[in-house]
Every structure is written in structure tokens, then in C-alpha cells.
Amino acid sequence: MDEITNVSEYEKIAKEKLPKMVYDYYASGAEDQWTLKENERAFSRILFRPRILIDVSKIDLRTTVLGFNISMPIMIAPTAMQKMAHPEGEFATARAASAADTIMTLSSWATSSVEEVASTGPGIRFFQLYVYKDRNVVAQLVKRAEKAGFKAIALTVDTPRLGRREADIKNRFTLPPNLTLKNFENIDLGKMDKTNDSGLASYVAGQIDRSLSWKDINWLQTITRLPILVKGVITAEDAQLAVQYGAAGIIVSNHGARQLDYVPATIMALEEVVKATRGIIPVFLDGGVRRGTDVFKALALGASGVFIGRPVLFSLAAAGETGVRKVLQMLRDEFELTMALCGCRSLKEIRRDHIVTEWDRPRIAPRL
């Protein structure tokens, strides 16, 4: 393997290594995949206004998320079925996150259980939750996550039904026979039937609760003391409602462009959501983050941190735990360099005027 010099290079290696059905499942987006491309492309329409001649000999990347101290504002997003990428799956990802001193979010649809992931050793971990029609299943799962030491629930709110992912339909995607959705194994919901279209779409249609609404956040608060992050907010209106209903934070996410196509890139929706929360709760972003410069741009627009998804899957497929560690390290190094070159020594020094976006009015140079 040639020396990997950036995060995106792992995707090509993953594509060569993985079975087509698996690579397509990880890589594809909904329908025309406009938002999929836009999630990455939109970052390139934000430019820097770097400040010079600032002493940047010491740079501090540390931050706190829901009160937990971590090494950098770069965390791991929930992605399903990681053992399709590598035999160690979520174990490898958990160890890499722990080594980097950052947060991992485990997917409900992981191929390792909450208990197994907890057994990999210490680390701050969040649990992503899908709400099943059978609320007892949900209550049990949340209690298991809490007991296993998970520190927050990331409630996915953009998936009353699964988006139309045409590659999965063509490939008749299903979970490989040697794997199960480990968190549901003991209640016979761990397997997916082979169908004429996407096995996952059929599974979601059968199991996931389409009636999920804001009042269910209050229901969740009655069954757990864990803070609840609402994952999948992309409008100011929903941001205000999230605050109103007592969410501990928001993840601005379009589900990796896998749900509704032609929603804006998350980086384009971010500022609207941040303004609507009026600083009451933290706002995070996932979707399209491939460079340290992307991390800086998100923070300049008001995000408290970012989550990465596909870069973890692709590096996991290419090189296991070592690959995931390297992705986290490369993003960290690039982000630190961006901070230095923009004249920022800590996260609180990253300001809106370090960037210029296409929706900013042309800036009139201040009278000197």
C-alpha cells in the first residue's frame, strides 16, 4: 500500500477490497445522489480569511462534549454493520476512538453488541438509537446501553422510512449470513430477510416506528437519565423544537445523504440551526467531512464538533484499527495546521470572520 496522505484515499482501497454489495451499501446515497456529492462539494464554497503574525507555537485542540473532555472536536458517527468492512468491525473502531481520546457513537444496527463494545476497554461512547414499533425492545436496549457505560443517546429522527438507495435495490442488499445485528440477536430481530429489493428497506418497513414524534423524546427521558442528542435536524424550526423538548444537543445531519435527496449539504444548513438554538444547546455536524479544513469551517459556523462516518468505514475496510487510527490522526493534524495558518490557538479563537461564504454580503474592507 502506497503511503496514504489523506482521508479520501482510503475509499479507493476499500472499493477494491470489499464485495460490491458491501461497498455500495456504505458508499451510496439516496436516489440521484445529488446531496451525497453536495455534502462534500459545499465545503469548497467556504473560503478562509486567515489572520497572520499571531504566536501559534502552542495550539490546544481539546474540547468538552456534554461535559466529557476529549482531545479534539472530531468524533465517530454511528455507521451500521462494521463487520462487513473488517472482521473486527466495531471492536477496532472502539479501540481506535479510545486511543485518539475521542468519542465513538455505536449504531443500533451494529454487528457487535453494546456489551461487547464496552468490553474493549475504557472510552467515552454514545449510542445511536432507532425506535422500533415494539417499545419494550427500545426500553431494553437503552437500559443495556446505559448499563454498559454509554454516556448519551443519539436519537435518529430522519428515518420514519428508509431512503431509496438504488444500489441496494439492484444488489438486493442483505446482511451477510455469518453476521447478525448483535443488539437484537436475543429477540429474533437480528437477521434480515433476502428480498426482491433492499433487505434493509424491508426490515425498516417492518420494524421501525413511523409514528415517532416530538413527544417521544419525553418518553425516552422517562426511561433513561442519559442526555439525548437529536440526530437529523436541518432546519431552524426543528432546532427550536429540539430545544423546547429538552434535547441535550443537536446533530445537523442528512444521514450521509441516504434519506431524502435534494436536501442541502449539512454545512449549508448548519448556521441556520446554530442561530435558532441561541446557544442554549450545542450543535454538531456530520456529513462530508474529509479534511481538517472542513472541521475548521464547521466550527467557524458555530458547530461544537463534527462526526465522521464513511471515512471510518473505508479506513476500517482498508486497514482495520490501524486505518481508523490513521484517519483520526490525519484529520487532527490537518485541523491543527489549519488553526495555525488561520491564527487560532484554541477552539474558542475560531470565529465566524475567519471564513467567508457565498451567502455573505461582499465584505467592505474596514476603514483603516
- Active centre residues (catalytic): 255
Residue 288 annotated as binding site: yes
* b/e per residue 97-136 (b: at least 16 CB within 10 A): bbbbebbbbbbbbbbbbbebbbebeebbbbbbbbbbeeee
Residue 290 annotated as binding site: yes
Minimal CA–CA distance to 305: which of 270, 343, 352? Answer: 270
Residue 128 annotated as binding site: yes
The DSSP bridge partners found for residue 208 are: 132
Minimal CA–CA distance to 133: which of 179, 170, 94, 187? Answer: 187
Residue 293 annotated as binding site: no
The residue type of 323 is G
CA atoms within a 13 Å half-sphere pointing along the CA-CB vector of 204: 18
Detail the DSSP E strand segments found in 38-165: 46-48, 63-65, 68-70, 74-76, 104-106, 125-129, 152-156
* CA–CA–CA angle 307, 308, 311 (5° rounding): 175
Residue 258 annotated as binding site: yes
Minimal CA–CA distance to 155: which of 98, 219, 235? Answer: 219
Residue 80 annotated as binding site: yes
Residue 231 annotated as binding site: yes
Residue 309 annotated as binding site: yes
Residue 255 annotated as binding site: yes
* CA–CA–CA angle 89, 93, 98 (5° rounding): 150
Alpha-carbon torsion, ordered 270, 276, 280, 284, to 10 deg: -10
Cβ 127 vs Cβ 150: under 8 Å: yes
* CA–CA–CA angle 314, 303, 163 (5° rounding): 50
Which strand (E) or helix (H) includes residue 67?
A: none
Residue 253 annotated as binding site: yes
Residue 310 annotated as binding site: yes
Give φ, ψ of 271 to 5 degrees: -65, -40
- Cα separation, 103 vs 185, in Å, equals 25
Residue 287 annotated as binding site: yes
In this structure, is the dihedral angle defined by the CA atoms of residues 281, 282, 283 and 284, taken in order, positive or negative? negative
Minimal CA–CA distance to 73: which of 240, 267, 300, 280? Answer: 300
Which residues belong to the annotated binding site for FMN? 78-80, 107, 128, 130, 156, 231, 253, 258, 286-290, 309-310
Which residues belong to the annotated binding site? 25, 78-80, 107, 128, 130, 156, 165, 231, 253, 255, 258, 286-290, 309-310
Which residues belong to the annotated binding site for glyoxylate? 25, 165, 255
